[in-house]
Chain A
């Protein structure tokens, strides 16, 4: 069964800490995404990557960075966590190319991050 896994389901961090969220997919997908989900705001794209070492900013990249050193792994980094980064973080992957469905996303279970 194909899947996307995330390193933690629940995480509690203090303001100012550096936070790493890891995502791994086993489907050999080129594209990986990081979203955050907040009540009333839906899913918002933070960053995405279409290849190893490639990254593109999404709608809300401020305060975040990403790393993709291997095809199967996409990391989200909060350089200095703040309380307004308390949220549900969702990783997703998709296959992209001619004839593929770029709207098809496989999501991970999510990480609920609380910054205190």
Chain B
């Protein structure tokens, strides 16, 4: 059980911000939200994670709602190289790491 819901696909214009939503309404109090992405035929790449507060790193920003039932990954200036499948993950056991179906982000020129 992936415990997350994401749109199947999204489009974004190059240079614009990409906002990828994720619902995780059954998240428990100590579960973190992780975001990974997978470019075609490559291994998944870690992007960012958070618990309650919004987080930002060199790749992206993560906005988590106050009730923690949903989050949004923001790529501030999407490039063609950001075209990938983006996975929102809620880990609930050390060896349970369900990627779910993810969102296919298409960045267009």
Contact = CB atoms under 8 A, between A and B. Distances in A.
B32 A103 contact: yes
A107 interface: yes
B43 A112 contact: no
Chain B interface residue number, banded: 20 to 34
Contact of A90 (B2, B32, B43): B43
Contact of A109 (B43, B91, B98): B43
A96 B100 CA distance: 23
A78 interface: no
Nearest to B42: A109
A106 B44 CA distance: 8
In the A-B complex, the 6 residue pairs with the smallest Cβ-Cβ separation, listed nearest first, are: A107-B43, A103-B91, A42-B99, A110-B43, A107-B44, A43-B99
Given A43-B44, A105-B36, A109-B42, 13 more contacts: A42-B98, A42-B99, A48-B95, A58-B95, A90-B43, A90-B44, A101-B32, A101-B49, A102-B91, A103-B32, A103-B49, A103-B89, A105-B46
